[in-house]
Amino acid sequence: MKIPDLSNYDHLIGGFCGGVTSTVACHPFDLLKIRFSANEGHALRPQYTSYLDAVRKIVKVEGIRGLYQGWTPSLIGASISWGLYFQWYNSLRKYLNENLSTGSEMVNNLISGCVTGSAIMCITNPIWLTKTRLCLQYENQQAKKYSGMLDCMRQTVRQEGIPGLYRGFVTGVIGTTHGAVQIAAYSWMVDKRCAARGLPNNSFLSQTDYVVASSTSKILATTITFPYQVLRTRMQDHNTDYRGVWKTTLRTVQNEGIAGLWKGCLIANIRQLPSAVITFLTYENVKRLVGMTKNQK
């Protein structure tokens, strides 16, 4: 049976599969990152002495499924985001390289990443908001406020209006610099590796090359841009009343110092590093398989 030519959607399909795979494998790390980023010491939250202590307390009360709170919006959001991101980013990057001379391919990569990320954030912010709120339903609370993703959206709209679904949107747009730095650094390293091996751009490299490029670019992007994740998490948290990027920043720094802006950065790197490697490895391999459907006889 002839397989349809899907090569025009290789980035979309590869990114979709990468988002699904990484979420299934790494969601518990994401939950821990969100909880540590949101924790300003308020008595309503369970206080964890370490990441291992958090896992023990969550599992003791809610079982293993407690580590997968917010899994549904995470799965939906990651698959849509990565699929659209790779497809739109590569299309825009190609257009800029062919039609707009900025004098630097890295600049074109950063522009492509920021524009693409901002467009996708307009679509996915409500999904990420529900993920954050579901992840912040603690095991020490007698009753859970939300029963699931759709219930969270319904209650948010009823209590806060449609704008409530876009809490944290500004920090999310600022956070597109994270994706832009990551994808720009990744693309640059892959292109340089292709050149070093005498191969044209977009050639299929070894798995080791992709692991090195994805892990290095992710650590760089996460560490540099992490404060936006803390601010966004706190602004989306239904347990507190953080509002406004500037006010949230000042409140965090005044109460916890500059280091408060990097709360959860370690677990973010621990979580996002394997997630990035899984996402990009899956993306590159699925993209290659999809590309093989072109011009089949």
pLDDT of residue 80: 95
Q: Is 14 within a domain?
A: yes
CATH no. for residue 149? 1.50.40.10
Q: Is 211 within a domain?
A: yes
Q: What is the pLDDT of residues 6-29, one digit of tens each?
A: 888 899 999 999 999 999 988 998
Higher per-residue pLDDT: 263 or 282 = 282
Q: Is 156 within a domain?
A: yes
- Max mean pLDDT range (2-6, 171-175, 212-216): 212-216
Structural domain count of the chain: 1
Average pLDDT over residues 119-132: 93
Binning pLDDT at 50, 70 and 90, where does residue 103 land?
Answer: low
Average pLDDT over residues 268-277: 82
pLDDT of residue 210: 94
pLDDT of 254 higher than 60: yes
pLDDT of 1 higher than 60: no
Q: Is 2 within a domain?
A: no
Q: Is 34 within a domain?
A: yes
Q: What is the pLDDT of residues 106-119, one digit of tens each?
A: 888 888 989 999 99
pLDDT of residue 139: 83
Q: Is 1 within a domain?
A: no
Binning pLDDT at 50, 70 and 90, where does residue 240 land?
Answer: confident
pLDDT of residue 42: 74
pLDDT of residue 248: 85
Average pLDDT over residues 124-144: 88
For the chain, give the mean pLDDT: 87
Average pLDDT over residues 66-75: 92
Q: Is 260 within a domain?
A: yes
pLDDT of residue 217: 93
Q: Is 149 within a domain?
A: yes
CA–CA separation, 140 and 117 (whole Å): 36
Q: What is the pLDDT of residues 28-63, one digit of tens each?
A: 988 988 888 777 777 778 888 888 999 999 999 889
Average pLDDT over residues 177-190: 89
pLDDT of 295 higher than 80: no
Range of the domain at 282: 7-291
What proportion of the chain, given as a percentage, has pLDDT over 90? 41
Average pLDDT over residues 194-199: 91
Binning pLDDT at 50, 70 and 90, where does residue 101 land?
Answer: low
